Amino acid sequence: MFGSRGRPTFDVRSDGSTETLVAGFAEYGLAGLTAVDYLVRELDLEQTGHISVDELPAVTPFSDGTPRRHTRLYTRPDLDVSLLVGELVIPLPAAEAFGAAILEHTHGSDVEEVVVLSGVPVAHGPEDHRAFYVASEDYQRARLADVDVTPMSGGILGGVNGELMQQALDSPLQTCILTTPVHAQVPDVDAALLLIEALDEIYDLGVDVGPLEEFAEAVAGQYEELAAHLEAQAEEAAAEDRMYM
């Protein structure tokens, strides 16, 4: 339930803007979230904004007794890439409103590209342990012609990723989903590494992935709580589906 209005609203507030926005959200395997959270620390970015929400049960993550916003924007003055770290689990009915809020933010700023780092829970073999892309044609021409990232052969984008891509099709915003198969363990560090390497190849960020394992161990506890939240939400959605069968 989203309250009397029946629809959540998201408010983006930011003091910084860059050409490219890279996002990772709380999804199965948490590979994209792990990747952007690590990039924030590795690239020494500062929080310059956040996304708030009403009409939707929110969470307040914390560490060492200190709370933080669940969805945060980070920038650095000398870097034209900003990071969106999303620790709020977005229910499917709220994905459209969340995607629209992000698109509205890009339209009112200097953002020209949105890249989402995202794991996908699909059956796969060892040969599929690599990064794939689903990207608008203008993004493919601008960024992917000379990099070794494989196009995803086919499928359907759902949730926030699907909404962002669908809404971007009707705008000049260049949009890309970088994805890789993920496993059930939380966080899937190997998948996060593949996403970081693909992003680094595209944008030449000079990221040192050496400390990633240590970083993942440090945040494993809070990510396990997020994973439990995701699992509970999936079970609730399945129960609702059975009600209408």
pLDDT tens by residue, 151-186: 998 888 988 999 989 988 888 899 999 999 988 777
> What would the pLDDT profile of 74-113 be if each residue is shown by its tens digit?
999 999 999 999 998 888 888 899 988 998 888 878 899 9
Could you tell me the domains of the chain? 9-243 (3.40.50.10900)
* CA atoms in the 13 A half-sphere facing the CB of 39: 34
Say if residue 25's pLDDT is above 80: yes
- Which comes out higher in pLDDT, residue 58 or 26? 26
Say if residue 3's pLDDT is above 70: no
> What would the pLDDT profile of 116-140 be if each residue is shown by its tens digit?
999 987 666 666 678 999 999 999 9
d(CA 120, CA 28): 7
Look over the chain and give the mean of its residue pLDDT values, rounded to a whole number: 84
